[in-house]
Amino acid sequence: MNIRIAQALASGKRVQILKWLKDPRRHFAPQIDGDLVRDGVCGLRIAEKLGVSQPTASEHLRILAAAGLLRSRKIKQWMFYRRNAAGLRRARRTLSQLL
């Protein structure tokens, strides 16, 4: 099993981020920069919603991206995150082979 997927999904906060990003318009207010669906959600907004500091949120987001579950995009000085559909499909296949 891909250890990065296991590590990424071992945190309830990271799983919550994935759930929110499944329907970002439902969970986040519109942004000035970046479309919520096409570009992703600003990391600062994710930090606020999680109730954690920006560095803590950045570490959660980095782990999810390293596992291939999120894609990141820089717009101006901000990082935006959205789900990586192909990475999530791979993770599902990997997990289903174990269970």
pLDDT tens, 15-40? 999 999 999 999 999 999 999 999 99
Q: Which two tokens stand for residue 82?
A: 């959205």
The average confidence (pLDDT) of the chain is: 94
Q: Where does the pLDDT of residue 6 fall: very low under 50, low under 70, confident under 90, or very high at 90 and above?
A: confident
The reported pLDDT for the residue numbered 49 is 97
For residue 37, what are its two tokens?
Answer: 């669906």
Has residue 99 got a pLDDT over 70?
A: no
- Give me the sign of the Cα torsion angle 36, 41, 42, 45: positive
Segment 65-81 shows an average pLDDT of 96
Domain definitions of the chain by residue range: 3-98
Architecture of domain 3-98: Orthogonal Bundle (1.10)
Regarding predicted confidence, which is higher, 95 or 75?
75
